[in-house]
């Protein structure tokens, strides 16, 4: 769908011309302000384009388009159902059409098809079909299913105008404490490499084109080996370490993604310690971005920094320093120049277009260097067909987003990802699962309404025939400072009081523990007490209960090792896969009925 315009048409508007010719024509017409706007990719809230967002300190999207000539935005939140989302997108495109040469906006999104709600990394599914987290897709392990998911997500994204996926996240979860494993395919490089190829094909198709969603693969060169499992969103997690010498192991999924045609790449925040590469954050790291990604792998797509490398900000009422690890001493203009020298094309989460204009005007950055990045950015806009069809069909969006077939496919994947760890106490009792229907059921963390479909809901364990307890992997709950609280980090051990409580219920009544494993949990104190333990990686109550009561078969297998103890975790090497001694459950473990 086109936006009606009475302005003179230029050669770059002519879809019959080769894309490179259109790029050069448009590039020749851009002002320095236009170019600066193209090099920034920040957040925007779905809602009134004229309204800012105080929570994240953002001016209005419309003002960023008009005053800073920006046109790449990562969408936070949801504008409602498919029709409303599409209408909001179209309103944004109409604002862009009135500015300068009318370059259409590219909207991107973090994952928004599952259960995670960390505003820095992923969104709740909302109106979209709901699937297990990527760890759950890995638990299923099917490349065909992952491609089908990607294709469904592509259809829902494009229906509402989302054209860049800020995913897949293909870091390897070799450090069990790391808070961002939920968005990965787990610990194994081979499985991750297989699945990322299918993921990219699902979103992009065989080649990037007008019906594609471009994938921004992250976080190059692998964000898993975090020192002590801490995340580099925060200064205490700035170091990536390789005590086992396995830097190359973490590159394997990226090699597969590049070969599969992944369109964009995002380096992580961390700084490598004790390697041949510069000890600065990857977004400033020329030896990694240019030497490794551009030269060794020949990658010529867009490289966009992770969010917030240049500017200190306040988020949710708390200060958050720029993640300029290793170059904290540099000024904001100096950081910008260093990132461009490293080979970066876009600055994620930043709006300081004036700083770039100043550095070009002062001669610290050449306009030719800026143009090299502009060519990559414009090439993708043209390839995605945004100039021909900047608007989306709002009625069609209402039909496509969250339609019954897509929702059912997501629910089926939720069921398939359920992973049975134990079935019957380890002392040798008969299998507990599948449960018989019609029992008296005590539940925690599961809705009484869902339980009532399978039996009689009772209010205490001593009145029940079986207990079903939905719990989550433990984490350090003392990290309560706004944005930081969304990152589940720290010890993998349950608190003593929680262990005692769960053991008490399990001794009173046969108990099925369902554990949400956004990270591995130390389950050792519970395996001899619970009648059965299952893991989920994002599933509704209905999907879980269908498996527990035998309406669906459990098909999941662990995408990582589950350690036996925190001592084993602390003794393991952050970069080495499957390195905890004598794990309680190994990668690939999953019982069947």
Q: Do 212 and 166 fall into the same domain?
A: yes
- The contacts found for 426-434 with CB under 8 angstroms, 24 or more apart, are 426/527, 426/528, 427/528, 429/531, 431/532, 431/593, 432/466, 432/510, 432/512, 432/531, 432/532, 433/512, 433/532, 433/534, 433/548, 433/550, 433/554, 433/593, 434/547, 434/548, 434/549, 434/550, 434/593
Q: Which of 400, 427, 460 is at the close of a domain?
A: 400
Distance from chain centroid for Cα 379 = 25
CATH number at residue 431: 3.40.50.1700
Q: What are the φ/ψ torsions at residue 94 (nearest 5 degrees)?
A: -70, -35
Q: For residue 313, give the H/E element and its range.
A: strand 313-315
- Has residue 579 been placed in a domain? no
DSSP bridge partners of 214: 164
* Contact call for residues 196 and 202 (beta carbons, < 8 A): no
Any idea which residues carry the catalytic annotation?
306
- Pair 138, 194 in one domain: yes
CB 125 within 8 A of CB 112: yes
CA distance linking residue 380 with residue 19, whole number of Å: 9
Nearest 10 degrees: CA dihedral of 368, 266, 488, 171?
Answer: -150
Q: Is residue 499 part of a domain?
A: yes
In a domain, 591, yes or no: no
Assess whether 392 and 423 both reside in one domain.
no
Is residue 322 located within the same domain as residue 380? Answer: yes
Q: How many CA atoms lie within 13 A of 229 on its CB side?
A: 24
Report the phi/psi class of residue 316: left, alpha or beta, with left for phi > 0 and alpha for psi in -120 to 50: left
pLDDT attached to residue 513: 98
Which structure tokens are listed for 590? 């999953």
CB 79 within 8 A of CB 385: no
Question: Tokens at residue 394, please?
Answer: 């709002």
For residues 144 and 80, membership in a common domain is answered with yes
**Exposure pattern of 299-331 as b/e (b: 16+ CB <10 Å)?**
bebbbbbbbbbbbebebeeeebebbbbbbeebe
From first to last of its 593 residues, what are the pLDDT tens digits of the chain?
656 444 558 999 999 999 999 999 999 999 999 999 999 999 998 888 888 777 677 889 999 999 999 999 999 877 789 999 999 999 999 999 999 999 999 999 999 998 876 666 666 788 999 999 999 999 999 999 999 999 999 999 999 999 999 999 999 999 999 999 999 999 999 999 999 999 999 999 999 999 999 999 999 999 999 999 999 999 999 999 999 999 999 999 999 999 999 999 999 999 999 999 999 999 999 999 999 999 999 999 999 999 999 999 887 778 889 999 999 999 999 999 999 999 999 999 999 999 999 999 999 999 999 999 999 999 999 999 999 999 999 999 999 999 999 999 999 999 999 999 999 865 556 789 999 999 999 999 999 999 999 999 999 999 999 999 999 999 998 887 778 888 899 999 999 999 999 999 999 999 999 999 999 999 999 999 999 999 999 999 999 999 999 999 999 999 999 999 999 999 999 999 999 999 999 999 999 99
472 and 389 assigned to the same domain: no
Based on the fold, state whether residues 382 and 445 are members of the same structural domain. no
Q: Under 8 Å CB-to-CB from 30, ≥6 apart: which residues? A: 38, 101, 374
Any alpha helices (H) in 108-176, and if so which ranges?
134-140, 143-160
What is the predicted pLDDT for the residue at 125?
A: 81
Q: Which tokens belong to 277?
A: 């590469």
Specify the number of domains making up the chain.
2
Look up the pTM and report it: 0.96
Q: Are residues 209 and 266 in the same domain?
A: yes
Distance CA 322, CA 332 (A): 9
Residue 577: inside a domain: no
Range of the structural domain that residue 443 is part of: 419-554
Say whether both 391 and 515 belong to one domain.
no
Q: Which of 353, 373, 400 is the last residue of a domain?
A: 400
Taken in order 22, 361, 66, 315, is the CA torsion positive or negative?
positive
- Assigned domain for 321 exists: yes
Q: Is residue 191 part of a domain?
A: yes
Nearest Cα residue to 376 out of 11, 30, 39, 9: 39
Q: Are the beta carbons of 296 and 287 closer than 8 angstroms?
A: no
Burial 16-43 (b: 16+ CB within 10 A, else e): eeeeeebbebbbeebeeebbbbbbbbbb
Q: State how far the alpha carbon of 8 is from the alpha carbons of 4, 13, 24, 33, 489, in Å.
A: 12, 10, 18, 21, 55
Q: Identify the domain boundary among 373, 400, 427.
A: 400
Strands 239-241 and 271-273, how do they pair?
parallel
- pLDDT number for residue 6: 42
Is residue 471 within 8 Å of residue 456, measured between CB atoms? no
Residues 6+ apart with CB under 8 A from 319: 312, 313
HEC per residue, 177-189: CCCCHHHCCCCCH
Is it true that the peptide bond before 434 is cis, omega within 30 degrees of 0? yes
Could you tell me how far CA 287 lies from the centroid of its own chain?
25
Q: d(Cα 73, Cα 92) in Å, to the nearest integer?
A: 10
* Rounded Cα gap, residues 30 and 70, in angstroms: 13
Q: Tell me, what CATH number does 222's domain have?
A: 3.20.20.300
Distance (Å, rounded) from C-alpha 422 to C-alpha 442? 20
Are 198 and 276 found together in one domain?
Answer: yes
Residue 126 sits in the same domain as residue 219: yes
The answer on 376 and 487 residing in a single domain is no
């Amino acid at each position: 769908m086109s936006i009606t315009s009475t302005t003179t048409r230029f050669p770059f508007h002519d879809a019959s011309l080769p894309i490179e010719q259109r790029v050069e024509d448009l590039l020749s017409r851009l002002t320095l302000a236009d170019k600066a706007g193209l090099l920034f990719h920040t957040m925007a809230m779905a809602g009134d384009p004229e309204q800012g967002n105080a929570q994240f300190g953002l001016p209005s999207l419309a003002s960023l388009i008009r005053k800073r000539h920006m046109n790449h935005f990562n969408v936070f939140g949801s504008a409602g159902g498919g029709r409303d989302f599409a209408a909001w997108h179209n309103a944004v495109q109409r604002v862009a059409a009135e500015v300068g040469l009318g370059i259409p906006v590219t909207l991107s999104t973090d994952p928004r098809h599952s259960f995670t709600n960390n505003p820095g990394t992923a969104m709740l599914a909302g109106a979209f079909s709901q699937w297990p987290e990527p760890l759950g897709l890995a638990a299923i392990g099917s490349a065909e299913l992952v491609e089908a998911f990607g294709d469904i997500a592509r259809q829902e994204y494009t229906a509402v105008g989302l054209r860049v996926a800020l995913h897949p996240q293909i870091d390897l979860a070799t450090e069990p404490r790391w808070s961002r494993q939920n968005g990965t395919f787990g610990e194994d490089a081979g499985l991750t490499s297989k699945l990322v190829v299918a993921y990219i094909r699902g979103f992009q198709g065989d080649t990037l084109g007008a019906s594609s969603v471009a994938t921004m693969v992250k976080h190059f060169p692998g964000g898993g080996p975090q020192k002590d499992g801490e995340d580099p969103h925060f200064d205490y997690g700035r170091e990536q370490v390789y005590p086992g010498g396995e830097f190359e192991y973490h590159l394997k999924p990226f090699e597969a993604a590049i070969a599969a045609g992944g369109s964009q790449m995002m380096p992580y925040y961390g700084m490598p310690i004790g390697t041949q590469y510069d000890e600065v954050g990857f977004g400033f790291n020329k030896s990694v971005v240019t030497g490794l990604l551009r030269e060794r792998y020949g990658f010529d797509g867009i490289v966009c920094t992770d969010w917030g490398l240049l500017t200190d900000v306040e988020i949710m009422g708390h200060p958050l320093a720029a993640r300029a690890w290793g170059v904290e001493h540099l000024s904001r203009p100096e950081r910008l120049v260093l990132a461009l020298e490293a080979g970066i094309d876009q600055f994620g989460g930043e709006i300081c277009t004036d700083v770039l204009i100043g550095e070009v005007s002062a001669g610290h950055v050449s306009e030719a260097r800026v143009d090299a990045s502009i060519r990559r950015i414009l090439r993708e806009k043209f390839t995605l067909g945004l100039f021909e069809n900047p608007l989306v069909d709002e009625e069609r969006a209402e039909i496509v987003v969250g339609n019954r077939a897509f929702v059912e496919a997501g629910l089926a994947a939720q069921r398939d990802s359920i992973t049975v760890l134990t079935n019957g106490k380890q002392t040798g009792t008969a299998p507990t699962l599948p449960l018989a229907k019609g029992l008296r059921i005590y539940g925690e963390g599961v809705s009484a309404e869902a339980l009532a479909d399978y039996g009689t809901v009772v209010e205490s364990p001593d009145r029940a025939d079986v207990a079903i307890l939905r719990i989550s992997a433990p984490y350090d709950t003392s990290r309560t400072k706004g944005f930081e609280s969304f990152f589940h980090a720290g010890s993998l051990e349950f608190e003593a009081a929680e262990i005692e409580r769960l053991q008490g219920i399990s001794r009173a009544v046969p108990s099925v523990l369902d554990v949400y494993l956004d990270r591995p949990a130390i389950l050792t104190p519970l395996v001899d007490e619970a009648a059965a333990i299952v893991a989920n990686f994002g599933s509704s109550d209905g999907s879980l209960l269908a498996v527990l009561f035998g309406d669906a078969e459990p098909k999941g297998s662990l995408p990582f090792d589950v350690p036996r103890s925190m001592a084993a975790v602390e003794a393991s090497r952050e970069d080495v896969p499957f390195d905890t001694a004598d794990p309680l459950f190994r990668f690939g473990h999953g019982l069947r009925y």
